Structure 1
C-alpha cells in the first residue's frame, strides 16, 4: 500500500494550517453520550482550556479540571463564568488528583503523555463505584487498518476544517495551543494493557487519529 504522494501531503498540511479545528473537541458530544444525564462529581484530566470541563458542569454538581500547565489552567479559569461549578488546578495526573472519588472521569489526548498502565490504575482508584471512565487517546500507526483510517481521515479532516471555518482562514483554536508529542504505543498494545488494568473496557479506533476507551466500574 503506497503512501499519499508527498505533494498531496504538503498541500493538505498547508490547507489544514489555514483552516485548523479542534480534533479533541470533535469528540466532546460523543463523550457526553457515554455519561448519565446527571451525576454528582466529575474529574477532567488534562483539562486544557476547560471546554470539556464546562460541558460536564452542565450535568454535575462539581467538576475538577487538572492540568500540569499553569498557563493553560490560568486561561481556563479566565474563560469560565464565576457561577460554573468547576475548579481548575495545576496538578500532576498521577500524583496530584484532588482527594476523593468521582462519578465521571474523562481524559482527552493526555494519556499518551503518561505511563499508560499506571495512569489507568490511578484513574480506576479515583473512580466511584458505578462510575464511568472515558478516554480519548492517540495511538501509533502500525497496521494496515491504522493506515486506512488515516488515509480516510485526511480529506475528511480538510473538509471539516473548511466547513467549521466557513471557508475562511482561521486562527488556531485556544484549546490547541498546548504542546503535544506523538503517541508511542500501538492500538493493539493499548487494548492489551487496558484489558489487563480495566477488565471489560471497550476500545475502538476512531477517525482523526484517535481511539476511545469506555469503562464502567461495578
Structure 2
C-alpha cells in the first residue's frame, strides 16, 4: 500500500486512508500525514451579510438546448441512454456500452 504525503497530493488539503484500521503502524503514519483541522467560527450574521441577493450570484448564460432537446439528441447518438433531471439545471446521463 502506498501512502501519499500532502505535498504529493498537490492542492488537496484532506485525504482519507480507508481499510487499514487493523495495522497500527499504517494508521499512525496516515494520522501524521493528515493535516489537522482549523478552528472556524461562523455566525448567523456572517451568513446574512450579503443576502438576500437580488438575483442569482453564480455566473449563468441562457441554455442552448432544452432538456427535451438533450434527451432527443442523446437517443440519436447513444441508443439506450437514460437521462435524469436534477436540481438547478443538472442532469445525469447513464449509458452502458454493450
TM over 0.5: no
The structure richer in helix per residue is: 1
Max radius of gyration: which structure? 2
TM-score by length of 2: 0.39
Judging by fraction of residues, say which structure has more strand. 1
